[in-house]
Amino acid sequence: MHTERKARWAVRQSALPTVVRSCPDCSSTRHRPSGKIRVNANGKLLDVWLLLSCAGCDRTSKVPVHERVHTSSLEPARREAYENNDLAVVRELTMSASLAAKNDYSLDWSGTWELEARTPLHAIDDPTPLTVLVSFELPVPVRVERLLMSGLGLSRSRVRRMVADGRIRLPLAPDAKARRDFELTVHAPAATLAQLAAPVAATRREAVRELGAASAVEAPPRLSRAVSGA
Ligand SMILES: [Zn+2]
């Protein structure tokens, strides 16, 4: 009888991560992409670098993306994107965990994202399980319980208790960090479900009496929600 309930939360990008590595010219360790990519062709071989600017002294540094690769090994469209400082490619390279690992620097993701979540206020006690798809616009590692606190508007302790009680079901531990799409479900407390069985039947009988047989064939929508709110 219950219709499915779904919500979609989105981890939206608000900024690019900061590249953390030492600067040879100053004491700063924070670098931002300069917005440029450098391509150097030497015969049939190509070098490609992502250019960064030091936040402390503006010194430009280079992160090798491709070293001495044969021109035929790069898609023409990809090479063109490099040569045009394509913004999407600059973003992609700046956020690349593999590029960071290869070049021995880390990424600081603080302040790079915000959660866009629209969950109706009555959502967590509604008897129909709520399925939430959490989608990531950027590969930022975010602790799962932080998403839950923000998305459901609950305290950390309440979130932990709901996970422990099986009311929130997750594909990964609440203190794990997610960085790609996943689904979770939120279930009503056992007490709410038990209270519901009898009153729903009684209320429906009354509705049938009041509305008459013809309109009662189409059961009033969201009947269960009306009961849970009583
Ligand atoms: Zn510097």
The DSSP bridge partners found for residue 13 are 113
- What is the pTM assigned to this prediction? 0.71
C-alpha span between 26 and 57 (Å, rounded) = 7
22: CA distance to ligand 1 center in Å?
Answer: 8
116: CA distance to ligand 1 center in Å?
Answer: 35
The mean pLDDT of the chain is 85
61: CA distance to ligand 1 center in Å?
Answer: 9
C-alpha span between 170 and 74 (Å, rounded) = 40
59: CA distance to ligand 1 center in Å?
Answer: 5
pLDDT at position 122, please? 64
C-alpha span between 213 and 206 (Å, rounded) = 11
91: CA distance to ligand 1 center in Å?
Answer: 21
C-alpha span between 53 and 94 (Å, rounded) = 12
Position 20 pLDDT exceeds 70: yes
Give the 3-state secondary structure of residue 174. coil
The DSSP bridge partners found for residue 10 are 116, 135
119: CA distance to ligand 1 center in Å?
Answer: 44
Enter the DSSP assignment of 124: G
Q: In which band, very low, low, confident or very high, does the pLDDT at 125 lie, cut at 50, 70 and 90? A: confident
pLDDT digits (tens, 9 = 90+) for 140-189: 999 999 999 999 999 999 999 999 999 999 999 999 999 999 999 999 88
Specify the residue for token string 């309109």: 215
Specify the residue for token string 């064939």: 217
pLDDT digits (tens, 9 = 90+) for 37-82: 999 999 999 999 999 999 999 999 999 999 999 999 999 999 999 9
More confident of the two residues 120 and 145: 145
148: CA distance to ligand 1 center in Å?
Answer: 38
107: CA distance to ligand 1 center in Å?
Answer: 17
Q: In which band, very low, low, confident or very high, does the pLDDT at 194 lie, cut at 50, 70 and 90? A: low
More confident of the two residues 228 and 34: 34
